């Protein structure tokens, strides 16, 4: 890391309370990357059905997408600690219930019911970004660096989470990943929410602004979905999520076709590593107008996502790994810039809700991308299936032009 980059992050974490809440959010964020692998291994190992395991995992994904904006609205209204602590406890109890249902051979429907409570897990990345936005509201350059760090942290946790889950479930017992994940989530969230000095103040009634004696009719803060430019951004996030979802499924299929499925996780981790490194470097650069930056990041992502498609034609998994490493460098800058635009366009007092909508859009895209990538791998072959993430990135780029017209 260059001196300039290191200096930017030293200044960021020199702020009082920044290191403490960052440590808590990283600890709580890691189980999010562990959850899917832990649940699938645990359920498939006990019930002998990957179809059941995948369906249960998908249920948690859909439930999270539906519950996220509602939970974030409560956070904006009542504060992070008051909402996140009981919500986290509910999610942890649900994880333990899932573990017990699997362990003691409960009916299949109980697995769906137990794992659906994972939707109560607060969007820890969104909570952390909201803290940075509050602390750095008068310093856009530092806010850009903070958003870049948060995106790099996302990539790091989704890179380490599946690896840790695989290690725990393979080394100890099938339920170990779920159990450790629940402990880490609870401990991390308690540490994060204990940092009251950096918590954004709640808006007791964020829908009402300008109300009071003699103030005339109440004006309502618009919902994030109604804010100018937010809907095209969410559609863009959905297309970007399709890149992630399809790339994961297609890469596993490609490695399986090469007889090296065991190293598929390592190959995918290289894409996350490239994105993590690019995110940290991007955070040290001068930000500039976010709309203009997004107009550059989206074409770059569309171009670089063609590299895995080309590399797959060589038949070498390691050439593909190198292409994924390079392609990954485009995703973090794109996500950071788009997230900055969401923060700028979300109405005051509803930031957590706005960022939760982003997560819902990404989850929707990931689910659609996974389905499209799986269909293409089955019907066209693993190599042609790499057209799906490339086309998804191109779609996001085209939607970027719509964004330019909505500013």
Is the CB of residue 206 less than 8 Å from the CB of residue 352?
no
> Which of the pair, 356 or 104, is modelled with greater confidence?
104
* Report for 79-93, 129-143, 226-240, 251-265: range of highest mean pLDDT: 79-93
In whole angstroms, what is the distance from residue 308 CA to residue 296 CA?
20
In this structure, are 229 and 200 located in the same domain? no
With a CB cutoff of 8 Å and minimum separation 6, the contacts of 106 are: 100
Q: Where are the alpha helices (DSSP H) in 212-316?
A: 230-257, 264-283, 290-304, 306-312
Q: What percent of the chain has pLDDT over 90?
A: 27
Query: According to the model, what pLDDT value does residue 347 have?
Result: 79
Q: Is residue 158 part of a domain?
A: yes
Q: Is residue 94 part of a domain?
A: yes
Whether 25 has a pLDDT exceeding 60, the answer reads: yes
> Which of the pair, 1 or 357, is modelled with greater confidence?
357
The neighbouring-strand residues paired with 219 are 209
Average pLDDT in the 359-385 region?
A: 84
Query: According to the model, what pLDDT value does residue 217 have?
Result: 46
Q: Is residue 333 part of a domain?
A: yes
In this structure, are 352 and 393 located in the same domain? yes
The neighbouring-strand residues paired with 208 are 220
In this structure, are 276 and 392 located in the same domain? yes
Average pLDDT in the 140-164 region?
A: 82
pLDDT band at 249 (very low <50, low <70, confident <90, very high): confident
In whole angstroms, what is the distance from residue 273 CA to residue 88 CA?
28
In this structure, are 171 and 311 located in the same domain? no
340 CB burial (10 A radius; 0-12, 13-18, 19+): buried
pLDDT band at 236 (very low <50, low <70, confident <90, very high): confident
Q: How many residues does the chain have?
A: 407
In this structure, are 174 and 267 located in the same domain? no
CATH number at residue 153: 1.20.1250.20
Phi, psi (rounded to 5 degrees) for 135: -70, -35
In this structure, are 39 and 177 located in the same domain? yes
In whole angstroms, what is the distance from residue 365 CA to residue 239 CA?
6
pLDDT band at 343 (very low <50, low <70, confident <90, very high): confident
In this structure, are 185 and 261 located in the same domain? no
In this structure, are 199 and 258 located in the same domain? no
Is the CB of residue 39 less than 8 Å from the CB of residue 57?
yes
Is the CB of residue 204 less than 8 Å from the CB of residue 79?
no
Lowest-pLDDT choice from 134-138, 222-226, 333-337, 347-351: 222-226
In whole angstroms, what is the distance from residue 23 CA to residue 243 CA?
29
Query: According to the model, what pLDDT value does residue 215 have?
Result: 46
Is the CB of residue 49 less than 8 Å from the CB of residue 348?
no
Q: Is residue 22 part of a domain?
A: yes
Query: According to the model, what pLDDT value does residue 231 have?
Result: 83
Query: According to the model, what pLDDT value does residue 178 have?
Result: 92
In this structure, are 326 and 400 located in the same domain? yes
Query: According to the model, what pLDDT value does residue 1 have?
Result: 55
Q: Which two tokens stand for residue 56?
A: 């249960």
In the chain, how many domains are there?
A: 2
- The DSSP code for 208 is E
User: pLDDT tens digits, residue range 201-219?
Assistant: 887 554 444 444 444 444 4
Whether 126 has a pLDDT exceeding 50, the answer reads: yes
Query: According to the model, what pLDDT value does residue 216 have?
Result: 47
Query: According to the model, what pLDDT value does residue 214 have?
Result: 47
Whether 97 has a pLDDT exceeding 90, the answer reads: yes
Domain residues for the domain of 166 are 18-204
Contacts of range 209-213, beta carbons closer than 8 Å, 24 or more positions apart? 209/348, 209/349
Whether 99 has a pLDDT exceeding 90, the answer reads: yes
Q: Is residue 375 part of a domain?
A: yes
> Which of the pair, 347 or 105, is modelled with greater confidence?
105
> Which of the pair, 301 or 342, is modelled with greater confidence?
301
Average pLDDT in the 279-288 region?
A: 80
Phi, psi (rounded to 5 degrees) for 220: -100, 130
Q: Is residue 34 part of a domain?
A: yes
Whether 110 has a pLDDT exceeding 80, the answer reads: yes
Is the CB of residue 74 less than 8 Å from the CB of residue 204?
no
In this structure, are 247 and 297 located in the same domain? yes
In this structure, are 243 and 168 located in the same domain? no
In whole angstroms, what is the distance from residue 324 CA to residue 309 CA?
10
Average pLDDT in the 337-353 region?
A: 80
Whether 43 has a pLDDT exceeding 50, the answer reads: yes
pLDDT band at 261 (very low <50, low <70, confident <90, very high): low
Query: According to the model, what pLDDT value does residue 204 have?
Result: 56
Q: Which two tokens stand for residue 389?
A: 């993430």
Q: Is residue 215 part of a domain?
A: no
In this structure, are 134 and 251 located in the same domain? no
Q: Is residue 23 part of a domain?
A: yes
The structure's pTM equals 0.75
Q: Which residue has the tokens 């399986």?
A: 256
Q: Where are the alpha helices (DSSP H) in 346-386?
A: 351-379, 382-385
As a whole number, the mean pLDDT across the chain is 83
* Report for 133-137, 253-257, 301-305: range of highest mean pLDDT: 301-305
Last residue of a domain, one of 147, 176, 204: 204
Is the CB of residue 301 less than 8 Å from the CB of residue 393?
yes
Report the candidate in 240, 310, 234 with the shortest Cα–Cα distance to residue 275: 240
Whether 85 has a pLDDT exceeding 50, the answer reads: yes
In whole angstroms, what is the distance from residue 121 CA to residue 127 CA?
12
In whole angstroms, what is the distance from residue 146 CA to residue 154 CA?
12
Distances in Å between the Cα of 206 and the Cα atoms of 82, 134, 216, 270, 350 are 16, 16, 17, 42, 7
């Amino acid at each position: 890391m260059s001196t300039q980059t290191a200096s930017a992050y030293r200044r960021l974490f020199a702020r009082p309370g920044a290191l403490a809440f960052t440590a808590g959010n990283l600890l709580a964020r890691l189980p999010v990357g562990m959850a899917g692998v832990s649940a699938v291994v645990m359920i498939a190992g006990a019930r002998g059905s990957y179809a059941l395991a995948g369906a249960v995992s998908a249920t948690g994904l859909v439930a999270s997408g539906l519950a996220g904006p509602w939970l974030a609205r409560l956070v904006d209204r009542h504060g992070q600690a008051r909402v996140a602590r009981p919500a986290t406890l509910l999610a942890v109890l649900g994880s333990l219930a899932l573990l017990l249902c699997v362990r003691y051979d409960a009916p299949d429907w109980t697995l769906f019911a137990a794992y659906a409570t994972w939707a109560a897990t607060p969007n820890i990345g969104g909570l952390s970004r909201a803290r940075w936005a509050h602390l750095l509201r008068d310093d856009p350059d530092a806010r850009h660096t903070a958003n870049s760090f948060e995106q790099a942290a996302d990539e790091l946790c989704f890179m380490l989470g599946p690896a840790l889950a695989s290690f725990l479930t393979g080394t100890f017992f099938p339920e170990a990943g779920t159990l450790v994940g629940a402990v880490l989530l609870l401990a991390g969230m308690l540490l994060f929410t204990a940092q009251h000095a950096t918590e954004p103040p709640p808006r007791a009634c964020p829908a009402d602004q300008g109300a009071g004696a003699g103030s005339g009719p109440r004006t309502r803060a618009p919902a994030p979905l109604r804010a100018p430019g937010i809907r095209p951004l969410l559609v863009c996030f959905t297309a970007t999520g399709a890149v992630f979802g399809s790339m994961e499924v297609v890469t596993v299929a490609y490695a399986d076709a090469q007889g090296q499925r065991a190293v598929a996780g390592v190959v995918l981790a290289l894409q996350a590593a490239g994105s993590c490194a690019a995110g940290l470097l991007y955070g040290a650069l001068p930000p500039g107008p976010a709309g203009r930056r997004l107009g550059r990041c989206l074409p770059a992502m569309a171009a670089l996502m063609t590299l895995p498609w080309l590399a797959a034609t060589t038949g070498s998994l390691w050439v593909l790994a190198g292409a994924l490493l390079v392609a990954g460098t485009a995703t973090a800058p794109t996500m950071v810039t788009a997230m900055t635009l969401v923060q700028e366009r979300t109405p005051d007092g509803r930031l957590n809700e706005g960022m939760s909508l982003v997560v819902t859009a990404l989850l929707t895209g990931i689910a659609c991308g996974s389905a499209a990538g799986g269909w293409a791998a089955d019907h066209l072959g693993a190599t042609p299936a790499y057209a799906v993430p490339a086309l998804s990135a191109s779609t996001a780029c085209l939607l970027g032009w719509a964004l330019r017209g909505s500013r």
